[in-house]
Amino acid sequence: MPIMISPLATLWKPGHRRWGAAVFALSVVFASIAFANPAWPQQPTPPSKPQADSILEYIHKSWDTLSRSMTDCHSLADSKVVNSMLGGAPSVLYLPADVAVPAGVAALKSQCDVDVEHLPKVVTSFGELKLTDIPKPGLLYLPNKYVVPGGRFNEMYGWDSYFIILGLLREGRTDLARGMVENFFYEIEHYGGILNANRTYYFTRSQPPFLSSMIRGVYEAAPQGAERRKSKAWLARAYDYAQRDHDLWTSSIHLAGDTGLARYYDIGKGPVPEQEDDSSYYPDVIRWLLAHPEVKTDYLVDGPENPTEKQKITLAKISCDPRTSHVCAQAHVEGHWLTADYYKGDRAMRESGFDPSFRFGPFSGSTHHYAPVCLNSLLYKYERDLAWMATTLGKPAEAVKWNAAAEVRKAAINKYLWNAEKGMYFDWDYERGEQSSYNYITAFYPLWAGVADATQIAAVEKNLKLLEQPGGIAMSDTNSGTQWDLPFGWAPTTWIAIDGLVVSGDAVDAVRTSQKFSKTIEEGFDRDKTIREKYNVVSGSAQVEVATGYKMNVVGFGWTNAVYLEMQRVIQNNGANKGVNNGKAAGN
C-alpha cells in the first residue's frame, strides 16, 4: 500500500534519517503558497510547443522547436533569473577567457540586446571559478546547436541530454546528437567539468553522470564501414573526456565517507540563485518544519527577522549570507532560518536531479549524507563503458583496470545498498551508518546498469508492485506532496526502470508499464496537444498539483518526447532486447 502523507507530513524519527510508519495530518502548512511574492519583470519564454495534430508529429517537430544555438536570441532567455540579479542590464553571454568571439556571436549584441563577455579567468578544473567572480549571471557559450528540455529550462542540461539524445538517435538526428555530446567535451575543456546546465550559476555542481552512455549511443549509431572507422577516431577523443568526467565523480568532494561509493555534492553555499523566480520555496520549507515539530531534523536555526550588519555576518556562517543573496534575504520565517548544512543538502539534491522529494529527509535536505543507489549504479555502468571504450580502442590493460574498478564498486553496492531481506536496493546514510527504508524507483537502476545478479533482479521485479500505478511507475510509494514522489511519474526514471526490465529479460512487465505510461502521455496530448515534464500516474493525467518545489508542469518536453519513442519500440518488439546501447552490456 502506498504511504500517504497529507499532504507533506510523516514522522522523521528522532536521531534517524529514515521514515517511520506513523502518518500525520497537515494543518496550516503552506498557507503562504496562495500569496505570491512581488512580481519581478521576467524575460519572455522561448518556444517549447510545436503545432501538431498527432503525438508523433509533435515529437518530430519538437527537436527543432526546442533547439538552441549561440546565434539564436531565444537561447539567452532565462525566466529563472529576475532583474534584481541583472540590475536591469542586458542578458550576458560568456565565453571562455581564452576563446575569441566568433563572428556570429558578435552579432548577438545588436540583434538580441545582449552583452558578450569573457569569463574572468581560464578554468581548468571544477570549482576554480567562484560565483562571486561573476556578479552578473549569464549563459555559457557552447559551440554546437543543442536541444533544451523546454519552458523555464532553456539550457543544455546534463542528464536531460542523455534521454534527449536517445530520441534524436531514434529519429536519425545523429549530427545533432553528436554535437550535443561534443558540447559536453567543451564544458569539460573550458568550464572544468560537465555542469548542471550551461549557466554561470551552475558552476558549483554537475548532474548525474550519463556521458559514457551518450558516447556509446552516438558511436553505435554510426553505420559499419568507413563511417564507423571515422567514428573510432572520435571515440578515441571521447574516451579521454569520459575519463576526465569520471575523475570528477571519484574526487574527494563526491566521496561518501569510507564506503568506496559516491555521493551528490555541490561546492556552493546557501540557497541556489536560480530559485529567485520562486522565492517562496525556502520559506515554505521553514513553515512545513515549524508545523511539524514531531519531525526531528537539524534544518532550522534561530535568527533575527531584520538582521543588523553584524548579525548578517553571523547568519552567513550558520545559515546563508543575506548580504550577497537576494534569495537568502527572503528565506526566513518568524525568526527561523535554514541551517548551512540544510543548504548543502538542498544543493546536492539539485545535482541529483530529484528536486525535491523526501527520499533524503524532508525536502531531501540531507542528500549529501547519502550514498545513493542511482549515482553508484550509473558509475558502475560508466566504469564498464570505459572498459568497453578501452577494448574497442585496443587498450586491453586499461580495460582490465576499468573492469576491476567496476567490480570494486559492485561489491560496495552489494554491501551497503542491497537489502536481501526486502529484495530491494536502498540508499545508505554513511553519516549514521544505516540503510534507508525509502522505496524509490532508483531501485531499478542496478538492473539497467547490469550490476544486479539473477537473484537480485528477480527480487526487485517482484517489488515493482510497490510503485506501479494505473498510469505508469511512480517515483515512490510516499505521497510527500513534492514532485519527485508519489503520485508522480517521470520519463527518465520510468525509462531506466523499463529498459532495466527489458535487458533483464522481463518482457511482460516492460511492455505493460510502457503501455501504461504511453497511455498517460497520449491522453494528456489529446487534451491540450502538449507533452509535459511529469505526470500524475495514479490518475493517469498531466493535471498535477504540487504542494511545494517547482509547482508548474512545464511544456516541451525533451526527455518525455524521447522516452515516448523508446517505449513505442518496447511495445512493438514485445519487450525483446533489440535496442542499441541499452545499458546492460557495458564493457562486456
Question: What is the DSSP track for 82-132?
Answer: -HHHHTTPPEEEEE-TTSPPPHHHHTHHHHHTEEEEE-SS---STT-S-GG
Any alpha helices (H) in 340-372, and if so which ranges? 340-352
Question: What is the DSSP track for 133-162?
Answer: G-SS--EEP-SS-EE--BTTB-S-BHHHHH
Q: How are beta strands 468-469 and 428-429 bridged, if at all?
A: unpaired
Burial state string for 182-213 with b = 16 or more CB within 10 A and e = fewer than 16: bbbbbbbebbbbbbbbbbbbbbbbbbbbbbbb
Give first-to-last CA distance, the chain, whole Å: 39
Give 465's DSSP letter: G
* Closest to 563 (Cα-Cα) out of 472, 438, 430, 439: 472
- Given the residues 355, 383, 427, 485, the one annotated as active site: 355
Show the CA angle centred on residue 561, arms to residues 555 and 564, nearest 5°.
130
Name the strand (E) or helix (H) holding 378: helix 373-392
Give 549's DSSP letter: S
* Closest to 417 (Cα-Cα) out of 427, 407, 409: 427
Q: Are the beta carbons of 147 and 103 closer than 8 angstroms?
A: no
Q: Are the beta carbons of 484 and 442 closer than 8 angstroms?
A: no
Q: How are beta strands 139-140 and 91-95 bridged, if at all?
A: parallel
Give 70's DSSP letter: T
SS3 of residue 277 by DSSP: helix
Count of alpha carbons within 13 angstroms of residue 504, beta-carbon side: 29
* Closest to 216 (Cα-Cα) out of 189, 238, 191: 238
Grid cell digits, residue 325: 543573496
Q: Are the beta carbons of 305 and 286 closer than 8 angstroms?
A: no
φ and ψ at 534, to 5 degrees? Answer: -150, 165
Q: Are the beta carbons of 158 and 206 closer than 8 angstroms?
A: yes
* Closest to 82 (Cα-Cα) out of 134, 37, 40, 45: 40
Is 453 tagged catalytic?
no
Is 533 tagged catalytic?
yes
Q: Are the beta carbons of 331 and 283 closer than 8 angstroms?
A: yes
Grid cell digits, residue 493: 526514471
Give 46's DSSP letter: P
- Given the residues 245, 477, 533, 566, the one annotated as active site: 533
* Closest to 3 (Cα-Cα) out of 15, 18, 17: 18
Radius of gyration of the chain (CA): 23
Spatial distance between the Cα atoms of 323 and 196, rounded to a whole number of angstroms: 25
Just list the catalytic residues.
355, 533
